[in-house]
Amino acid sequence: MSNLTISLIQTRLHWEDKTANLQMLEEKIMRIAEKTEIVVLPEMFSTGFSMRPEELAETMEGETVQWMKRIAAQKKVILTGSVIIQEEAADGQISYYNRLIWMLPNGHYGVYDKRHRFAYAGEDDHYTAGNKRLIASVKGWKINLLVCYDLRFPVWARQSPPQLRERGPGAGMEYDVLIYVANWPERRIHAWKTLLQARAIENQCYVVGVNRVGDDGNNIRYSGESMIIDPLGEVLYTKKDEEDICTITLEKTHLDSVRDKFPFWKDADAFMIIKDEEE
């Protein structure tokens, strides 16, 4: 397992304008000069945080997913962020998802459907909840991928019970990096910053949180404050109010050292997430 380089894009989004957003993001991605392995975009990067999936949703064969395939292949990076996706069941019923897509350069991909829908904004009235986590693997790093409001629910992000782990410094830990893509409003930004650091400390992992800036079509303001945090909770990067592209290398030796010197993970409580019957 070697070091891992990640780029995050903190940007304004054109409200419900897929064409403008994809063009803008393509220009930003192609401007990344440093060698990078993963590029992280905000939540609903092609539309903004919209409650109109009936008008804006695409299928997995749609333009945005095809765009992700092309950009990932051209730039030779893994590209991730969430988009509005619709799926039709055998009985013709259509469901909408706030779906994070983990797109590899070879066109293969994984998906994570946002588990915790933001009822305060009516997300639960329009979108179907996911019930499975996605933990990807890159160069031996395990990466847990989540979306915005999931941040408020620590059990969903918690490392697996210690009884399931192997012995040794950090051996058998479920993941090494936790990524949140978000549209997190400025008015609640204190919670965003505090909880990102808490997730890093309690899970002894790197945390990457990517938020947007600017105002959306509902006159909600976003201050960005995307963050990269180390396993001790130290902030390695943050930026307020400005559009920015940050590329940073996560160090394996530092991760191993923290888990070896402070093996708090060995003392964690055992637990099991029980799915609802309807799932």
189: how many CB neighbours lie within 10 A of its CB?
Answer: 17
pTM of this structure: 0.95
Residues labelled catalytic: 43, 114, 148
Rg (CA), the chain: 18
**Quick check: 261 pLDDT over 60?**
yes
DSSP letters spanning 212-273:
-EEE-TT--EEEEEEEEE-TTS-EEEEEESS-EEEEEEEPHHHHHHHHHH--GGGGPPP--P
**Quick check: 266 pLDDT over 90?**
no
**Quick check: 279 pLDDT over 70?**
no
Round the average pLDDT of the chain to a whole number and report it. 94
Which superfamily is assigned to 4-267 in CATH? Carbon-nitrogen hydrolase (3.60.110.10)
How does residue 165 score in pLDDT terms, banded at 50, 70 and 90? very low
**Quick check: 55 pLDDT over 60?**
yes
